[in-house]
Amino acid sequence: MAKDVIDLEAKRWTKLPPRLLARHLMTLSAKERMETIISRPDAEAVAAALSDQDFYLTVKEIGAEDALPLLAVASLDQITHVFDLEMWRKDRIVPGPAIQWLDRLFRADPKRMLAWLYAADFELLVSLFKKWIRVAQRPDEIDPLEAVDFLPKNTLDDQYYWETFYPQFEHLIRQVLSYLFETHYGFYKELMDHLLWALEPEMEEEAYRFHRGRLEDRAIPDYYDALEIYKPLDLRSIPFEKIPLSEPSQDEGPSSPGFALIPMAEGALLQRALAQVNDSRLVDTLRWEMAALANKIVVADGLAPDVPDDLHEAAEKAAAMVNLGLDLLSAGNESLALRAVQEVYMEHLFRAAQAKVFGVQKRLKALLRDGWIARWPLGQTILDTPWAERVAALLHKTPKLYRIQGAKRPRVVETFLQDRRDLHDARTWVAVVESVEPLFDVVQVTVEDLQGKLWLEGQVRVLEEVTLGVLLLTAAGTALLTERWTMKPIPLAQWPRLFSRATPQRLETLLQEIVHSKIQDSQQRRLAWIYVDGLLQKYREETESFAPHNAPDARLMSLFLFDPT
């Protein structure tokens, strides 16, 4: 039955006009996208209907060599966009990748390569060929037979002689120059003259100017413009002033980029709001806005635009932050969210969300720099699982949440904050870590006290493995043995006796007494107990299979320090 549904859907798509089909293609896997395009009799029209960025991402996801069938049906603008992202590194051309892509285009379709050469900026071609070949001209008074002794070995007309800096691509360059020579000698001659006499820095600078203009047309900014997305914006000052694009053509030209809408979380407020938008102008506007956001993130965060995973990461971040901003602005109200999607620029929602998230991170960084953790020489290694991992996730360039997902096969994932609940969780995590400072003060231990005294057969062998939980439980164990609260490693010989006393219930009672005596504020006590309760849960899991008179091997206990002497 499922197969029949898939087949019917596939048949329906084969009948869609190219531009409408292009809107759905990015929901498919890259391989399915390519197969759908090249299986159509109007493959060139379907490919051309994809935005340049969607086309480029598809090529990169498939792999350069496997994507030759796509290059064979690409529009000249799409080919130019591929070259714009592959052959430039900031304001400099990188000739190696450029000639590799020219070779792929030649193998995909020599005629399409020739068409692209005629359509490309002349300054770009001069800059490229100057990096690929050395050209010399035969003096008029020198016979061609004599010229072979001192001029480069290759020539097509006994006037211009050349040799390549890339011997492995000599055949390709000969083919390219032969095409130009045979189809348009005037073009060929002008190119060769510029290779002889034009100044390379001037040609490359002019080529870069055109390159930057094309990227800006595709909402790919330069670095300083991209940084604008990280300017904080107060939710209360967000203007409702969005102007949608003019009415798009339904059957001509490429569709708006769709790659940045794919990572939206299933059931998220943003997804639900977008599902209610029927105005085609607004749909195109939103697609462009989200693509522009993802592009700015790529540039501002120093990601690689030619790496699909980086582009997906940027799109995921854009979707998450916009969803968070939308949730904060509308307080989860779908009607208000729909209005915001229609009237508020997505970048404003992004900036407002970033301001809230960075506020959490700023508070955490202050704790690490000036708080109790800064007093531990090894820093945040003092934190127990999962708090160490949660703190690390919040310290990413854009903070993330550390989660364990999957009922049958739990796995650790890090995701961007998506909504108000996530923001609340992040704030709570920081507050919990702040709250346990009095408990750190209680244990009164220094690195020097432990240096060289850790039991090498135990679970805690090096100082980096010493955590607040280890110190607290060791101090609690000492209190159960001596009735004095002090952080002193447990004598190994006393472990069976301690284990018979250290039931989870007695430890819980003892730790509750310490928390209540050392922390006066009830809210801080509640937060600190969240941390301590996690330690007790871990202890229960480690000891639940053992009876009080049957102590587990001390080498298996992760929450105690032992003295083997």
CB 53 within 8 A of CB 81: yes
The residue-averaged pLDDT of 43-60 equals: 95
**More confident of the two residues 407 and 319:** 319
Burial class from Cβ neighbours inside 10 Å (0-12, 13-18, 19+) for residue 496 reads middle
Q: Which residues contact 224 (CB under 8 A, 6 or more apart)?
A: none
Summarize pLDDT for 157-184 with one digit per residue, the tens. Answer: 989 999 999 999 999 999 999 999 999 9
Q: What is the pLDDT of residue 444?
A: 84
Phi, psi of 437 (to 5 degrees): -55, -45
**More confident of the two residues 1 and 158:** 158
- Lowest mean pLDDT, pick from 272-276, 279-283, 516-520: 279-283
* Ranges of each domain in the chain: 10-218, 227-246+254-354, 356-431, 441-563
Between CA 429 and CA 433, with CA 431 as vertex, the angle to 5 degrees is 70
Q: What is the pLDDT of residue 41?
A: 93
Coil/strand/helix, residue 88: strand
Sorting pLDDT into bands at 50, 70 and 90, what band is 409? confident
Buried b (16+ CB within 10 A) or exposed e, 73-88: bbbebbbbbbbbbbbb
- Lowest mean pLDDT, pick from 94-98, 107-111, 115-119, 448-452: 448-452
Packing angle, helices 420-435 and 387-394, rounded to 10: 120
Q: What is the pLDDT of residue 252?
A: 60
Question: Is pLDDT of 3 > 90?
Answer: no
Cα–Cα distance for residue pair 490/427, rounded to 1 Å:
36
Please count the CA atoms within 13 angstroms of the CA of 391 that sit on its side-chain side. 22
The residue-averaged pLDDT of 408-414 equals: 82
Question: Is pLDDT of 543 > 50?
Answer: yes
pTM of the model: 0.88
